[in-house]
Amino acid sequence: MGQHTVTSFGEELDQIDRLIRDMGDLAGEMVSASSQSLFASDNALAQRVISDDTVMDARQRELDERAITLIAKRQPMAQDLRSVVGAIRMAADLERIGDLAKNIAKRVSAVGEGATPRTLSHSIDVMARLVMNQITEVIAAYQARDADRLEKLRLDDKKIDVQYTAVFRELLTYMMEDPRNITACTHLLFCAKNLERIGDHVTNIAENAYYIATGRQLPLNRPKADETSAVVDPE
């Protein structure tokens, strides 16, 4: 009877783990599709991203329900409790990533009917690829319980911040050079900001996954390299 209970408990933990992996996969797909739809002005693809957000929300609710039931039923301790509570926190960040990808998709029609010019989209494309790689890496590192990899991923958020600052400068220049670019560039700035915020949520996931793997908290001070305030106000 005891062995059955232990096996059943392990299966319940595995189900929560699988949900995190599935949410991570969906988050990466949504960020990728929202970026593609933005660069190609593909409204059909953008609508698919918006619809996928409902799936993401449902998965988060399922994980929360499973986790709360498991805590009530099994009363896990130590590492098991860290795993369950950490999964709830990571699921919340993954759900927010889905929301931010949806926000990008919702701006596709507003940017314009024609495809976004390569001169305006290249830097954001680079940023989107960095973010997508971070999502893939953090879920893989969490699955492997690779603390060193998770700590490095947290530090790598600086790369996204640096790219965001570059995008901000570039779009600001385009707006100053030609007022006709202002509307499209403003929407692209919001899209770039959403990507930067996705990077912050990946950092949250890395911190929670690190805690699950080691039982230790990473330092509170995060490395940040967002210098957009200095671009607007050099003082």
CATH of residue 124: 1.20.58.220
- Residue 154 or residue 49, greater confidence: 49
| Distance (Å, whole) CA 100 – CA 219 | 26
| Averaged pLDDT, 217-222 | 78
> Is 235 part of any domain?
no
Which class for 90: exposed (0-12), middle (13-18), buried (19 or more C-beta within 10 A)? buried
pLDDT at 1 (0 to 100): 35
Confidence band of 232 (pLDDT split at 50, 70, 90): low
Cα separations in angstroms, 151 against 2, 91, 145, 202? 37, 19, 11, 12
The angle formed by the CA atoms of residues 42, 194 and 36, to the nearest 5 degrees, is 25
Confidence band of 179 (pLDDT split at 50, 70, 90): confident
Q: Is residue 229 within a helix (H) or strand (E), and if so which, with residue range? A: helix 228-232
- Give the pLDDT confidence of 74-128 residue by residue, as tens digits: 888 888 899 999 999 999 999 999 999 999 999 998 876 544 556 667 888 899 9
Give me the chain's average pLDDT, please: 88
pLDDT at 226 (0 to 100): 58
Percent of the chain with pLDDT over 90: 65
pLDDT at 111 (0 to 100): 79
> Is 85 part of any domain?
yes
pLDDT at 69 (0 to 100): 93
Number of domains in the chain: 1
| Averaged pLDDT, 174-187 | 86
- Give the pLDDT confidence of 24-82 residue by residue, as tens digits: 999 999 999 999 998 888 999 999 999 999 999 999 999 999 999 999 988 888 888 99
The domain in which residue 185 lies consists of 2-230
pLDDT at 225 (0 to 100): 56
Q: How many helices (H) and strands (E) does the chain have?
A: 9, 0
Confidence band of 167 (pLDDT split at 50, 70, 90): very high
Confidence band of 235 (pLDDT split at 50, 70, 90): very low
> Is 14 part of any domain?
yes
> Is 146 part of any domain?
yes
SS3 at position 97: helix
Position of tokens 């007022």?
Answer: 179
pTM of the predicted structure, to 2 decimals: 0.88
Angle between helices 147-155 and 118-144 (to 10 degrees): 160
pLDDT at 228 (0 to 100): 62
| Distance (Å, whole) CA 108 – CA 102 | 10
> Is 109 part of any domain?
yes
Residue 203, both tokens: 């950092």
